[in-house]
Amino acid sequence: MLKIATFNLFNYIEPPFACYDFERIYDEQQWQKKQKWIRDYLAEHQPDVIGFQEVFSPDSLKALVAECDYPYFEVVDSADVIDDYIFRSPVVAIASRYPITAIAAVMPDSDLAVSMGLSSEYQFSRKPLRASIELPHLGTTDCYVVHFKSKRPMLESEDDELATTKAVLDAFSKQMCGSWGSSIQRGSEAALLFQQMIQRRLATNNPMMLMGDFNDVLDHDRDGVLSHLTMNTLRFNSDPQAQDIVKQFSLQDSWHLYQHAANGVVASSTPAPRPATHYFYNKGSVLDYILLSCEFNAEYQRSLYEVSDYHTYDRHLINPIYERDSESTDHAVVQINLQLRR
């Protein structure tokens, strides 16, 4: 059995460093409590491969996971330094109990970006990571870790005092356009990343996993800004061979694979609702995902594994205990179990 997890660490930064401003510094007790919380999760759930987000201190994280029996750890970027001790723009990382044989930062195709109406200098807000891992029965598998652009508006009003109608409407306009700008960035990141994944698979035929904080709802039934990540048909084409090729290069949400039995029907007539992975006030959303290629889809004749379990670790969000969870994370941890097909 293989266990795969995606884990947003929420401002993982070792003191005396701070993230964003001087107020966000852990004291030593808080830092040790955060470290312990992560160790406890790893000890209890034992994932084999973990994609991390919000990493400011990769060296510290590497040492922590090594203590927990993860000898392989990689990053492809570093956080930006604002001031001597203040950092911004955290990075993604990956840890594995199986050998990582290659590592790369995924870069967007600039020609394709231009054809989409973007700048030739377009870059991902955070560099996606691709790790090639030697997994049992699968061999070399390309595991991608992402943290797509947040929903925070790209434009913000500089006027703190909204004393006039003009000031209010200016702030409103910037909020509206800034939010859409963030959506454009997030959707473009997903499309350009998926295109690079397709090209990589065409060259190597490696199985694929995509995990991370998508910062948006992935709705395969509607045309949301991330819906193309799970597109699996070539529109306006009735050629079965062409459609089969597309399916071999498509990705599927591990939740849906788990919800379906091997014969392709829903395992239960009233399946449980999908647990949220993040809460804004009292509203929950699923922002954290693990997507898989056809090698993990039991409906695909030549698949090797199937999703036998899907777990959302959210007790620190649903029923937090201060002594245990005060330095945890603001996201749930999503983990799937992959079992060899019988």
CA–CA gap between residue 273 and residue 27 (Å, rounded): 39
> Which contiguous run of DSSP H or E holds residue 30?
helix 28-45
Domain assignment present for residue 114? The answer is no
Higher pLDDT, 264 or 41: 41
Dist CA 57 CA 157 (whole Å): 32
Q: With respect to residue 65, please indicate whether it lies within any of the assigned structural domains.
A: yes
Per-residue model confidence as pLDDT tens digits over 238-256: 788 888 888 889 999 999 9
Domain that holds residue 98: 2-108+125-150+205-340
pTM of this structure: 0.93
Q: Give the model's confidence band at 222: pLDDT under 50 very low, under 70 low, under 90 confident, else very high.
A: low
Q: What angle do CA 53, 316, 18 make, to 5 degrees?
A: 45
Say yes or no to pLDDT of 322 above 90: yes
Distance CA 287, CA 211 (A): 11
229 compared with 267, residue with greater pLDDT: 229
Looking at the predicted structure, is the pLDDT value of residue 261 above 50? no
In this prediction, residues 320-332 reach a mean pLDDT of 97
Q: Is the pLDDT of residue 47 over 80?
A: yes
Q: Is residue 116 in a domain?
A: no
Query: Percentage of residues in the chain with pLDDT exceeding 90?
Result: 71
The H-or-E segment that residue 133 falls in is: strand 129-135
pLDDT bin (cut points 50, 70, 90) of residue 206 is very high
Domain count for the chain, please give it.
1
Residue 195 lies in a domain: no
Q: Per-residue pLDDT averaged across 163-174, rounded?
A: 84
Give 52's contacts (C-beta < 8 A, 6+ positions apart): 7, 8, 9, 12, 61, 92, 93, 94, 95, 145
Residue 28 belongs to a domain? yes
What confidence tens digit (pLDDT) does each residue in 113-158 have? 999 999 999 999 999 999 999 999 999 999 999 999 988 887 776 6
Q: Do the domain assignments include residue 160?
A: no
| Per-residue confidence (pLDDT) for residue 262, from 0 to 100 | 37
Centre a 10 Å sphere on the Cβ of residue 333 and count the other Cβ atoms it contains.
24
Residue 176 has pLDDT above 50, yes or no: yes
Task: Judge whether 120 lies within some domain.
Answer: no
DSSP H or E segment with residue 290: strand 288-292
CA angle, 6 then 89 then 64, to 5°:
50
Q: What is the mean pLDDT of the chain?
A: 91
Answer whether residue 281 is part of any domain: yes
Q: Rounded to 5 degrees, what angle do the CA atoms 336, 339, 341 make?
A: 140
What would the pLDDT profile of 266-310 be if each residue is shown by its tens digit?
A: 445 566 789 999 999 889 999 999 999 999 998 888 899 999 999
- Mean pLDDT over 21-45 rounds to 94
- Residue 159 is predicted with a pLDDT of 62
Instruction: Average the pLDDT over 40-56 and give the result.
Output: 98
Q: How far, CA to CA in Å, does 64 sit from each of 40, 57, 97?
A: 11, 11, 14
Percent of the chain with pLDDT over 70: 94
Question: For position 72, which CATH number holds?
Answer: 3.60.10.10
Give the lowest-confidence range in 159-163, 178-182, 263-267.
Answer: 263-267
Which pair of structure tokens corresponds to residue 10? Answer: 């929420």
Higher model confidence: residue 24 or residue 286? 286
